[in-house]
Every structure is written in C-alpha cells, then in structure tokens.
Amino acid sequence: MRTEFKNNLKFLRQERGLGQVELAKKLGVSKGIISLWENGLREPSLSSLVAISLFFETSLDELVGMEELKQKNSL
C-alpha cells in the first residue's frame, strides 16, 4: 500500500490545490502526519483512510491503489 497510497494522497491534495497544512486542518491531523504519509514513512489508520477517502470523495480501493496491488500480485 505504501507507494500507491503516498502517491495517490499527494496527487489528490495537489489536484485540489491544497497544501499539507490545509489538508491537515481539514482532516484534523498535524502537518507532520501528512508529510509522513506522503513520504511513505508512516501509514494511516483505518479511520484516517476512511476520513481521507470521504474528504476526497474517492473509494478506499482507489486511495490505496488496490488495482495496482492486484496486478503486482497476479504474476
């Protein structure tokens, strides 16, 4: 999940024109947490994943890159 999620989160944030600080405020977390997630140094909890998917109006599958994970594992 790490690579897909961090890339998807950063893409969605930038697509909305949000900085890390703005997104952190909207999600109720620190800017440092957003940075850790986007750099793949920490993974969000399930409740955080749900909050992120609701905020960006995307599915959890899309957020974590489930399709990419399926393709990697179906060799």
Q: Which domains does the chain have, with CATH numbers?
A: 2-73 (1.10.260.40)
What is the four-CA torsion angle of 8, 58, 51, 61, rounded to 10 degrees?
-70
Residue pLDDT, tens place only, 2-60: 689 999 999 999 999 999 999 999 999 999 999 999 999 999 999 999 999 999 999 99
Residue pLDDT, tens place only, 60-72: 999 998 877 677 7
Strand, helix or coil at 57?
coil
pTM: 0.87
- Contact predicate 24/33, CB 8 Å: yes
In the structure, how many helices (H) and strands (E) does the chain have? 6, 0
Amino acid at residue number 39: N
Distance of alpha carbon 59 from alpha carbon 49, whole angstroms: 10
Report pLDDT for 66: 84
